[in-house]
Structure 1
Amino acid sequence: MAPTRYELTLRAPIARTLLDVIRTRFDHVSTPGEDGTVLIVENIDQASVRALLILLWDTGHDVLAFQETRA
């Protein structure tokens, strides 16, 4: 089975402190754009995806788009 990659588009840039927390909890995290509104997380299970979404919502980040792809 191919690894799963999740791409989340946020309404506003992700706070640097929150990004540090996310990188501590999940292994493969990147923000490819300069503005920090896209978050890419790789190789996590569904429970981790839910935890990530709850963390984003609890910290006031609006998720505009959520896409799952197979690498």
Structure 2
Amino acid sequence: MAPTRYELTLRAPIAHTLLDVIRTRFDHVSTPGTDGTVLVAEAMDQASVRALLNLIWDAGHEVLAFEAVPV
């Protein structure tokens, strides 16, 4: 299986407190832009990606796009 990078585009910027929780739970998550509407997750298995999505949804954020990009 080829390594995959997941890019999640959110409707609004992610709260800094939630981003801190995400970075604590998942080692390979970053926000490449300054507006905080895109999350990039690397080296995560499918269960971790689902847990990340649930955390984002439970916090009230809306995911506009979810893309798996082969690296």
| Bucket of the pairwise TM-score, normalised by the shorter protein | over 0.9
**1:17-47 alpha-carbon deviations (Å, 9 max, x no partner):** 1001111111111111111000001010111
Indicate the residue corresponding to 2:40 in structure 1: 40
Deviating 4+ runs (over 6 angstroms): none
Give me the whole-angstrom Cα distance separating, in 1, the residues matched to 2:11 and 2:64.
Answer: 6
Indicate the residue corresponding to 2:67 in structure 1: 67
* 1:2 shift after superposition: 2.8
Give me the whole-angstrom Cα distance separating, in 1, the residues matched to 2:24 and 2:69.
Answer: 23
Letter in 2 for 1:2: A
Identity %: 79
TM-score by length of 1: 0.95
- The total of aligned residue pairs comes to 71
TM-score by length of 2: 0.95
SS of equivalent to 2:57: helix
Indicate the residue corresponding to 1:11 in structure 2: 11
Give me the whole-angstrom Cα distance separating, in 2, the residues matched to 1:29 and 1:56.
Answer: 13
Segments of 5+ residues of structure 1 without an aligned counterpart are: none
Q: CA RMSD in A?
A: 0.8
Give me the whole-angstrom Cα distance separating, in 2, the residues matched to 1:31 and 1:45.
Answer: 19
